[in-house]
Amino acid sequence: METIELKTLSPRKKQILESAQALFSQKGYVAASMRDLAEVLKIKPASLYSHYTSKEEMLWEIAVRCAAEFHEVVLPLAQGTDAPDLRLQRMIEAHIDVMMRNMDASAIFFEEWKRLEEPRLGTYTTLIQQYEQAFIGVIREGIEGGIFRTVKPRFVTSMLLSSMNWIHQWYKPTGTMTQTDIQTQCVAFIMGGLRAESPQERA
């Protein structure tokens, strides 16, 4: 399994990354320039290069740190001993929680990482696949145990993650839905569609 090793950031590097992820989220990685970032930070562009050698290095650092948090919070839930439906529910709630605590970084975790170049792209693709496989495995367990309907685990995982990952596109902290509302409705919608019919329902 691909592991994620993170370096400790200096306060200045942390400030630069926070500004970069907000800029990449707002303008998109391709459109944002080092000069744009320097203006946000109120420093000369050349000063950035003393901390990061390229825009891609910053993209990698942001993406891998976001991936690490998703892995650390969600993957242990998949490996638990509870029933598959309870594990999946907790994974959904945890995924949404991590995403909503890191809205700017989440946009990069879901989309902008595809701008990475090799070998970083290959490494990050493996991290994404490992994360998806955790959901696939739990869904497959649920099917084999008769808890979930007979569905294609990989297809359901793609739909599940796509629906949750879209939240960062429309969620507003000032809106009418709270994080709990979103988690509750996502769980109800997803689990309701997955659960196998009871004998009474089939009758």
Q: How many distinct helices (H) and strands (E) make up the chain?
A: 11, 0
Cβ atoms 21, 108 nearer than 8 A: yes
What value does the mean pLDDT take over residues 71-82?
Answer: 96
What is the tens place of the pLDDT at every residue in 126-145? Answer: 999 999 999 999 999 999 99
From 24, 17, 18, select the one nearest 168 (Cα to Cα): 24
Q: Report d(CA 185, CA 63) in Å as an integer.
A: 28
- What superfamily in CATH does domain 56-202 come from? Tetracycline Repressor, domain 2 (1.10.357.10)
pLDDT above 60 for 1: no
Confidence at 201, pLDDT banded by 50, 70, 90:
very low
What is the tens place of the pLDDT at every residue in 27-37? Answer: 889 999 999 99
What is the tens place of the pLDDT at every residue in 112-126? Answer: 889 999 999 999 999
Answer with the residue of higher pLDDT: 81 or 1: 81
Cβ atoms 95, 164 nearer than 8 A: yes
Q: Report d(CA 184, CA 136) in Å as an integer.
A: 21
Confidence at 198, pLDDT banded by 50, 70, 90:
low
Does the pTM exceed 0.75?
yes
Amino acid residing at 122: G
What value does the mean pLDDT take over residues 56-81?
Answer: 94
Length of the chain: 203
**Domain boundaries along the sequence of the chain:** 56-202
How many CB atoms neighbour CB 195 within 10 A? Answer: 14
